[in-house]
């Protein structure tokens, strides 16, 4: 009798998400003797060659999660269910008064949006927090930049 090939079910949950909050698309990657990549909070893979796999899940604004698994065929077929949990990545906090080379800079922050002003050349700054990094643009009487 030929052994059945293993199957894998993966489900991903976001921890700490607020009710009604729309999560970013979740990416699931299965890396091993045969590689797969899907977008969604769950996936089923069947007919996988036996072997060692790394299952990875990620979404914007979360810490990636991964699990190492070993799939081996048996006479009854094999179904492995795996649950991965993504945790929100802590956001950097930039609101306040900052002493900079261009004078005093005042920033306000609402969620991931940051805006503010600085003394030199009537400067203005706007940006988004990505994890613990502020990325944005500035404008002043002499021009703008990203």
Q: What are the structural domains of the chain?
A: 6-88 (2.60.40.1120), 96-145 (no CATH)
Cα–Cα distance for residue pair 114/127, rounded to 1 Å: 5
- Cβ atoms of 55 and 28 closer than 8 Å: yes
Higher pLDDT pick, 142 / 14: 142
Structure tokens that stand for 65 in this block: 């999660």
What is the band of 146 on the pLDDT scale with cuts at 50, 70, 90? Answer: low
Q: Is the pLDDT of residue 46 over 80?
A: no
How far is 115 from 132, CA to CA, in rounded Å? 16
Residues 6 or more apart whose CB falls under 8 angstroms from that of 103 comprise 118, 119, 120
Which residue from 79, 69, 112, 71 is spatially nearest to 93, judged by alpha carbons? 112
Q: What is the pLDDT of residues 56-110, one digit of tens each?
A: 888 877 778 888 887 776 545 556 777 788 777 777 889 999 999 889 999 999 8
Query: Average model confidence (pLDDT) for the chain?
Result: 79
What is the percent of the chain with per-residue pLDDT over 70, rounded to a whole number?
A: 79
Using the predicted structure, report yes or no on whether residue 128 has a pLDDT greater than 90.
yes
Q: Which residues of 47-78 are buried (b: 16+ CB within 10 A; e: fewer)?
A: ebebeebebbbbbebbeebeeebebeeeeeeb
């Amino acid at each position: 009798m030929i052994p059945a090939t293993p199957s894998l079910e993966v489900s991903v949950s976001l921890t700490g998400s607020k009710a009604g909050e729309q999560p970013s698309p979740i990416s699931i990657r299965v890396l091993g003797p045969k590689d797969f990549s899907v977008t969604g909070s769950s996936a089923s893979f069947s007919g996988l060659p036996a072997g060692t796999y790394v299952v990875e899940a990620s979404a914007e604004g979360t810490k990636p999660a991964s699990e190492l698994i070993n799939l081996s065929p048996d006479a009854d077929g094999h179904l492995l269910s795996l649950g991965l949990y993504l945790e929100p990545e802590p956001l950097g906090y930039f609101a306040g008064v900052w002493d900079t080379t261009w004078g005093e800079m005042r920033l306000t922050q609402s969620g991931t949006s940051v805006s503010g002003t600085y003394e030199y050349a009537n400067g203005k700054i706007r940006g988004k927090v990505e994890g613990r990094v502020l990325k944005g643009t500035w404008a002043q009487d002499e021009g703008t930049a990203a």
